[in-house]
Amino acid sequence: MYFDQSGLAVVGNAETSEIGMESEYIQTQCVLADGGDRFGVCALAFDPNEELLWMGNQGGHVTSYYGGAMQKYTSFQVHATQDIRHILPIDEGLLILTAGMLRCQIRRGIPVFTHTSPNLTEMQCMLQLSPSRFLLAGHQDKMIDFNISLCKETALVDVGESGCVMLRGHGRFVCAGDPLGRIDLRDPNTLKVEHTLETHSGSLSDFDVQGNLLVTCGFSSRQGNLSVDRFLMVYDLRMMRAVSPIQTVLDPLYLRFLPSLSSRLAVVSAIGQAQLVDTVALSEPRLCLLQMENPGAMCLAFDTCSTSQALAFGDNAGSIHLFSATSDPVFNTYSRITEHADPVTHFPSFAIDDYETPLSIVPLPIINTDMPLASDWPEHLMQKCYRKSQPIDPEILRAMKMQGPIGYAPNPKATRRNQVAYNLETNGSRTLTKSTQENRTIKQLADEGGNFVAIPKRYRKVDLKYTKLGNEEMQFDQFNKTSLPGLEATLPNSYCNTMIQVLYYTEPLRASLLSHLCIKEFCLSCELGFLFHMLLTSQGTPCQPGNFLRAFRTVPEASALGLIVSDLNPEAKQKLDLGGLIQNWNRFILHQMHVELLETKKRKEENKTNKKPFIYKETDFPTIMGSQGKRTTDVTKIEEEKQEEESEISQLFGTKQLQMNCCLKCGFEVRKETFLLACNLIYPTNEPEKDEWSFCDILKRSLCPQQTTPAWCDQCTKFTPTSQARILQALPKLLSVNTGLHNPQHKQFWQNQMDKVVAKVINNESARSTTPNLLVTSSKPCRYGDNCSRPGCRFRHSFDNATVPQAPVNNLYCSNNWLPHQIRITLKGQNLLIANLDREKEQAQGGGGDQIKTDITDSREYTLTAVVCFVNDQISSEKQNLVALIKVPETYLADGKDAKVDVQQWFLFNDFSIYPIPPQEVVWFSLDWKVPCVLYYSTKEVTDVRSDIVSGLTKDVFTQDQCIARSGGTRGVTFTPLAQSEMPKPGELVAMDAEFVTLNQEESELRSDGKMSTIKPSQMSVARITCIRGQGSLEGTPFIDDYISTQEQVVDYLTKFSGIKPGDLDANFSSKHLTTLKSTYTKLRFLQDSGVVFVGHGLKNDFRVINLVVPPEQVVDTVFLFHIPHHRMVSLRFLAWHFLGMKIQSETHDSIEDARAALQLYRRYKALEADSKLAEALSELYERGKSLNWKVPAD
């Protein structure tokens, strides 16, 4: 027996795999039950009448879940202290058994009755004999016959001192099992013992009955000790004797017959493994194993549904695992309709100060039209009144010349084109509607003396002007004069571009992710590694993070934290707090990468060493030991012995902390070691405002917080005042800080501290702040007006006269900043000392700051390397933006293009717009528009160390390819895989073509000149990728022809241009070779890393959508080979017809056909070039194309 990559036990030879393994059931759901953070799941039951799964935990709580999606249906508390022992769904409702109580409730959660009795002692199980008759038993010498119609106990039956802990129904008997391994077969009417079966010599763990077979599992007594019996005892109830036992590969603890399959049996171990065995075909069975996803948890409950399509497991960690044989399992063959809560009627509502929404959106009752309404206006107020036109500008009247009755004058450029100012004349205070406020110009806001502050161009959100070809013709060089790559922001959730740039310029993290590769489909660490490889090879060209954002949208934790932003809800997008969102994203991505890298590390270790065998302990099975076997857990001991496993993320970002919780009543203390990946700044609230706080003081109280709050005390068994404190034990290499400036109070605190720093300098040195110099601009107005996005534009704009906040060196707020560039953090025992190295000399002269002595535990110096800022545009919420200020390491600036960059290497990253900035600008903040969100402080171990990168891509990516289509995709295999001798070599040709589908429609608007302008291009997703051999005996034969599965909604399959039909990308219906995008992407990456030359037509757009950056020397694009400068591009169809005499793409597109045509065209090009006839052939091509209007003749 060995363990495979997923952790499952497999019988056979690890090299030869003599016995295969099939997967009939897969885990489709894993939910944390109510109270799962404190109590384990100890009872599970599928409802035989409705599509419900019932759960009971050790805290006396019951919850139901609807359907295979595990949608929570009802949840209620049954008992305050006793755990749930058994749940029995009946026709009228639900019977719930605890240790000393029987509760009946309807499925909606309303109690019907509660039965308690002195006879109910340590109850364990129950069984329904008739619609009104039930048997109750447990760890006592009596079995109770209970009548639910009378709600009373009708009889007591003696079962012996060992009691009865299991009851199973049969057509002829009532099967009752005791903990000592004996099963009594009783008459259903008299409850007298008819037969007795002695099953196991130690104790009985579980048994089940179906048809004429009774199967048991338990423990055997060997040399005075209990050991798990790996043989299932099988008894024939017709002969009342044992037949051949069934051997299992795991230690059985629970077993259930699959109701719809009379011979199949599910056997479950304590560690969550399950094996499906057959009671009939015992010779050479095909092994089928299942494994819960929660490692280290113990299975406490198990049940199967009546259709055998779903299996449910409950563990002591509070999770419920649902395994199903189909994607949409049905619990019962004929389930009645479940009664759901009536939907709440939502009436339309709007704000009381909203003057634009008409009252007619609120429906009114039918009233008599003859009666006047209270809202009717009097007639004297219903007169039509027209707004007076604005007077003509005196400048126009002065310069106007008359030509007959017509006057003409030059435009003074005082207003925008096609706009007329709409000023409301008021006496006193001014009241403006929302639309009026948005339409006011910048000049109006500045003249009115408001709080408007113009934002520098480099910080403003860049609005791209798309052409009819989308962003293919965008000239990104005007936004980036460096060799550093940027990121496009055209896709949803592109707000995280700033943090992606920060992570990319963190050298150890970049090296770890570039070396990471796992088998998980939607792994954010893998996708970040792929994206970092694009940035590494792009040479300053912006990259599109489409694949990463695609995987990001599928992570359930990201959706639960509200990190997924949809473009379909513009109102919610306007209310979005980008500053808080990016801080939550920072904390999420660090934790997600830590978990993913840790899983990969564990998987590699499991492949090297086998797991230890399961060891039985009596204290782990309270069902067998009764009340004496209850586990008493020492919380302090468990928390002290538990250690956090480390990954590359925790080694880099992890701040080791000792968390101490002390009950202020009983003194019970719990200690726990944790790793803090991101620190949230905690600002003082009760301290007087006049107190001066340094950034080091705030960081210190945030790293070592102390508070008193009500918390649960296991010693007092209730919520008590608890002192909570954290003590640092080890410092991180990179300190990630979330500023937490979400509310005005925190922003005001930060502003007050900056003002106090400057005021202190003015008082001490009598310094005078100078006014920032404005840029000298031309008096001639800019033709683009305020929409101008050209960097360094010298023409006049309306916002040029406004106060433009800059960061001049002579500004006191820049030279005396509150946020330091360098800090030192020192651990001195349990004390934490933080010093500002920017002012260390000043503090040493004045005797202030933290005094560092020799008896220190750890001391590190940190340098500010990244700041993520929220740019708050007060004019329009749609133009709010996030930017990153990053100190780029010298290793990233190897290109001579950046030779003149300042040695400080600070750059402003605004998506694909990148500017070098001085260090003073990094720590200068104007909180009315530039708000710091995330800070990264790094040690020299991070900034000065060059990490090695080991690529995880090997030729195994071609052998690990699997088809995920339910049909197996055998009918759709159109390629011949590469043999070992055909592995690509540098310089070899590979013809490639890709097909795409559309995920959203293009957004356009009609301009005033009648032309269409693209506001947002359509979002494309790769649907099919084909690669063809370019040499050898199989030249022209595909070795990759993958259809890419997608879970997102496809708006347009573009069947005419792609050949993709509905259902081709659905694993349930596709007959093609369907695979994941990650699987195909790794194969393309391996080809690129191998140095092959890709041949195709229009590969630039293909690689962009696929998110692959290929060096130009590895790309041969026929669209440029057969092209004369300053002329149109020629289609592949016309080129194939003209040069090859082939007619392709007649009805639809086929990527195999297109790739072959591109390869043949390249061969034709090389032949023409060798014969020196290329120029003549191109001239003939364009002449013939113009004569035919670039259309292939029909005949």
Q: What is the pLDDT of residue 112?
A: 94
1176 marked among binding-site residues: no
Identify the three-state secondary structure at position 725.
Answer: strand
Distance between CA 848 and CA 834 in Å, rounded?
12
Q: How far apart are CA 417 and CA 523, in angstroms?
A: 50
DSSP element (H, E) containing 1119: helix 1118-1121
How many contiguous H segments (helices) and E segments (strands) does the chain have? 27, 55
Produce one character per residue of 781-819: b if its CB has 16 or more CB atoms within 10 Å, e if not: bbeebeeebeeebebbbbbbebebbebbeebbbbebbbb
Angle (CA) 991-995-998 rounded to 5° is: 155
CA dihedral 940, 946, 948, 949 (to 10 degrees): 100
Give the per-residue pLDDT at 810: 53
DSSP string covering 627-664, please?
GGG-----HHHHHHH--PPP-HHHHHH-EEEEEEEEET
Query: What is the secondary structure of 495-555 as a DSSP string?
Result: GGHHHHHHHHT-HHHHHHHHT---S-TT-HHHHHHHHHHHHHHSTT--B--HHHHHHHHT-
Distances (CA, A) of 582 to 504, 576, 743, 781, 866: 16, 11, 15, 38, 14
Query: Tokens in use for 1183?
Result: 């002449």
- Which positions ≥6 away from 324 have C-beta within 8 Å? 25, 26, 28, 68, 309, 310, 311
Q: Taking Cα atoms as reference points, which of 128, 58, 116 lies closest to residue 89?
A: 128
Query: In a 3-state reduction of DSSP, which class is residue 89?
Result: strand
Secondary-structure percent of the chain, ordered helix, strand, coil, rounded to 5: 25, 30, 50
- Can you tell me the distance from the alpha carbon of 258 to that of 247, in angstroms, rounded to the nearest whole number? 18
- Confidence (pLDDT) at 422: 62
Q: Which two tokens stand for residue 693?
A: 């706080």
By the 8 A CB rule, do 942 and 957 touch? no
- One DSSP character per residue, 276-344 reads EEESS--SSPPB-EEE-SSTT--EEEEEE-TTSSEEEEEETTSEEEEEESSSS--S-SSPPPPPPPPPP
pLDDT on residue 860: 92
1154 is in an annotated binding site: yes
Q: What are the start-end ranges of the E strands in 1045-1162?
A: 1074-1075, 1093-1096, 1115-1117
At 207 the three-state DSSP class reads strand
Distances (CA, A) of 905 to 93, 232, 487: 70, 70, 19
pLDDT tens figures, 742-762? 888 899 899 988 888 888 888
Tokens of 1088: 């690129």
CA-CA distance, 693 to 684, in Å (whole number)?
9
Q: How far is CA 1091 from the centre of its chain?
A: 34
Q: Is 995 annotated as a binding residue?
A: yes
- Measured distance CA(822)–CA(939) in Å, rounded: 10
Cα angle at 590 between 585 and 594, to 5 degrees? 145
Q: Give the span between the Cα atoms of 318 and 1190, in whole angstroms.
A: 67
Tokens representing 31? 């939910």
Question: Are 1151 and 994 within 8 A, CB to CB?
Answer: yes
- From residue 579, alpha-carbon distances to 499, 584, 869, 883, 932 in Å are 12, 9, 8, 11, 8
Low-confidence ranges of the chain (pLDDT < 50): 1-21, 425-450, 470, 472-473, 611, 614-644, 767-778, 801-809, 844-852, 896-900, 902-903
Picking from 16, 74, 62, 69, the residue whose alpha carbon sits closest to that of residue 35 is: 62
DSSP 733-750: SEEEEE----SHHHHHHH
Residue 466 gets which letter from DSSP?
B
Which domains does the chain carry? 19-324 (2.130.10.10), 953-1195 (3.30.420.10)
